[in-house]
């Protein structure tokens, strides 16, 4: 285990098994349809890469990159689109793929933004959910793991852009982020 980690919260094997289940569930739910998976960069990239490999219905990808405005504007829930989708989504079955839902502000904004583009359907799939941090209600259709309010990194999740490449999800030692 990396010395900056206090503990491993979700092992590689647990991730693999749960993500396979999510992929199978999505494949059943969308049988006979095509889906467009919208990955939210950068955190969701590793989860998305593994998830889509266990989806058996025709699957297309697109990506968005968003960032929240400074701390002051945070509670307004307005996010800035750094990279928008490449193509229109009208009439398509969309699944937003996130690594984590925390306050819910990012997803709340994204759902409203994408819904306005008239998709045939719009669902949310997240690897992790921290329900204790929620500020706005978000309906999560597919959730890998509900976790406590701990500083998690790895498997796409970062602290100051570090640790994204760790194969499991770990809890960061407090001394690493509290100086």
Q: Are 91 and 118 in contact (CB under 8 A)?
A: yes
Size of the site for ligand PRP (CB under 6 A): 14
How far from 145 is each of 46, 88, 116, 162, 172, CA to CA, in Å? 16, 31, 29, 22, 18
29, HSE (Cβ side, Cα atoms, 13 Å): 17
Q: How many other CB atoms sit within 10 Å of the CB of residue 68?
A: 17
Total H helices, total E strands in the chain: 4, 9
Closest separation in Å from C-beta 16 to ligand PRP:
21
Q: Is 143 in the site for ligand PRP (CB under 6 A)?
A: no
Q: Of residues 4, 84, 99, 102, which has the active-site annotation?
A: 102
Q: Is 39 in the site for ligand PRP (CB under 6 A)?
A: no
Among 18, 20, 42, 117, binds ligand PRP (CB under 6 A): 42
Q: Are 149 and 133 in contact (CB under 8 A)?
A: yes
* Torsion sign, CA atoms 163, 159, 132, 121: negative
Q: Is 129 in the site for ligand PRP (CB under 6 A)?
A: no
Q: Is 2 in the site for ligand PRP (CB under 6 A)?
A: no
Q: Is 15 in the site for ligand PRP (CB under 6 A)?
A: no
Q: Is 54 in the site for ligand PRP (CB under 6 A)?
A: no
70, HSE (Cβ side, Cα atoms, 13 Å): 1
Closest separation in Å from C-beta 79 to ligand PRP:
8
Q: Is 105 in the site for ligand PRP (CB under 6 A)?
A: yes
Choices 12-20, 30-38, 40-48, 143-151; region in contact with ligand PRP by CB under 6 A: 40-48
Among 25, 27, 54, 103, binds ligand PRP (CB under 6 A): 103
Q: Applying CB under 6 A, which residues contact ligand PRP? A: 40-43, 98-106, 158
**Which residues are identified as catalytic?**
102
């Amino acid at each position: 285990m990396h010395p900056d980690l206090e503990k491993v919260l979700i092992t590689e094997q647990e991730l693999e098994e749960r993500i396979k289940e999510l992929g199978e569930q999505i494949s059943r739910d969308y049988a006979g349809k095509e889906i467009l998976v919208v990955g939210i960069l950068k955190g969701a990239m590793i989860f998305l890469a593994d998830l889509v490999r266990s989806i058996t219905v025709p699957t297309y990808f697109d990506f968005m990159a968003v960032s929240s405005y400074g701390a002051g504007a945070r509670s307004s829930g307005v996010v800035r689109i750094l990279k928008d989708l490449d193509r229109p989504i009208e009439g398509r079955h969309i699944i937003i793929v996130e690594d984590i839902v925390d306050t819910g502000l990012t997803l709340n904004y994204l759902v409203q933004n994408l819904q306005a583009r008239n998709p045939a359907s719009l669902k949310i799939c997240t690897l992790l959910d921290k329900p204790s941090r929620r500020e706005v209600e978000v309906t999560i259709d597919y959730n890998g793991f509900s976790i406590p309010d701990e500083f998690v990194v790895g498997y796409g999740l970062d602290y100051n852009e570090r640790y994204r490449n760790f194969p499991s999800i770990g809890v960061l030692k407090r001394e690493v982020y509290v100086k």
